[in-house]
Every structure is written in C-alpha cells, then in structure tokens.
Amino acid sequence: MILKPLTGRAVSRACGRFMDSKPSKLLIKPFVKKNGIDLNDYYSDDFQCFNDCFTRKIHEELRPVDRDNNALIAPCDGLLSAYKIETDMVMPAKQSWYTVKSLLGGSSDAVKFEDGICLVFRLCTDDYHRYIYFDSGIKSDNVFIPGRLHTVRPVALKSVPVFTENCREYTIMETKNFGTVAQIEVGAMLVGKIKNNDRQSGTFMRGQKKGMFMYGGSTIILLFEKDKVHLPKAVMQATWREKEIPVQMGQKIGETVQNV
C-alpha cells in the first residue's frame, strides 16, 4: 500500500525529469560513495546530471565479450535466475507464476518458446546499466508495452506478477547460434526510460550496444526455444534454492546445445 503510489508512470516520469536536471548533480557524490563506484573505470566523470552518472560508460576492457559462437553470454550485469518454460508458464520458485504470452503482451510469438528456457537478469541500482546483444542476427521492430512500475526485488515478485504488469519493451531476434530468442527489457520503480538504440528491424552483432536503463533497478529477460541452450546445472539449482548468481556483461553463462 505504501509503495503503490510510486508505481504509476507519471511519478516515474517526474523522477526522470529531475534525474536529468542539473540540480540532481547533488546526488552523484553520495551515490558513488555509497556504492563504492570507482569512476576511473568509466570514460567520464564530468556528469551534468545524475542520469549521466547512472548511465556512465565503462571501459571495454573491463567487460570483455566472449566471441566464441558456441558461448551464451550475459547481455548485462546483474543477478541471474533460470527457469524452465512448461507449456506457456514460467514458475519461479515460491514466487508468482506468469506466462510467456503475458510477458509478450498477448503476442502469438509466445508459442515459439514452449518448453524452452527463461533467463532473468535483475539489475540492482548500483549495477552497470547498459546492455548488449548476446549474439548476432536479425531483429524485428521493438514492441513497447505500457504498464506500471513495481519494484523488481524478489519480495515483490512473491505477491505481484511484476514482469507482466510493468512497462516493458521486447524484440524477437533470429540469432545466428541460438535460434529464435525474445529479449525483454522491463522497467522498474522510478525507472523513467528504457532507451534502446535501434527500435526498428535490422541486423545486429554479438557485443553490439543495444541500449540502457535510466535511474533505478531494472530487469532483462531472455526467452529461448526448446533444446537451443545448455546451462550449467549449478545455475538451475541455485534458482530453485532462490539464490541469484552475479554475472557481468559479456561473460559466458552457458552454451549452444550442439556444443554439449
């Protein structure tokens, strides 16, 4: 009840406008200190507003991209969970269930991912908030689904179908090595904008910059077809113990099935 007034997009937009303003610079030093951020790791510390700091660009050598075609890489920094898609349903351990069709706003593309794998990358406020394409291929136009902006913390997921209520943007990708994949960027409480670089259909390359989130926590979801990706057993086991695995953008987290 306390958080509900903050879930509306109007509140998020107002917060976003402030975070884009010069007075928001006053929040930068406390934010950097609290989260132990070393600004030497980034290209600039001449930030004109808080969002300049929040979306800071890291030196490439600190986020190397695994170029092995068989490697499944993380598209972003964050905390990873992995789930089997049973028919159309994703069943988080002891959390609210949701369907692929609801994630995709009712799209008929949902049937492509029946019995596949759903990967959830939860970005915390202090994470690096830019993200990349995890493989090369061809993409459709992005689809934006308006909604509310609940927090994406696990405590919220237990009582609210956050990923199907929050505003989000998705694209269907025909990838070189992993078949048809849906990537969904999910906004969260006080995140005013999901900023993708290319919203129209076209080609993309592994490691290419896809976009970034403005202020707040956020989530990226990847949906894979059946028998297209292999994950280490430790990843699935950690998820069922309700443990999230820290990963970094470009890091190998799995591989193609044909390489197993």
Question: Active-site residue numbers?
Answer: 77, 218
| Other Cβ atoms within 10 Å of 64 Cβ, number | 13
Q: Where are the alpha helices (DSSP H) in the chain?
A: 9-19, 28-34, 50-54, 100-103, 154-157, 162-165, 233-240
DSSP label of 26: G
- 142: number of CA atoms within 13 Å, CB side? 19
> What is the residue type of 31?
F
Alpha carbons 214 and 227: distance in angstroms, whole number: 34
Report which of 111, 84, 63 is spatially closest to residue 231, judged by C-alpha positions: 84
Strand partners, 121: 80, 220
Tell me the C-alpha distance between 219 and 186, whole Å: 5
Strand partners, 81: 120
- Cβ within 8 Å of residue 29, ≥6 positions away: none
Q: How far apart are CA 18 and CA 24, in angstroms?
A: 6
Token representation of residue 238: 């950690």
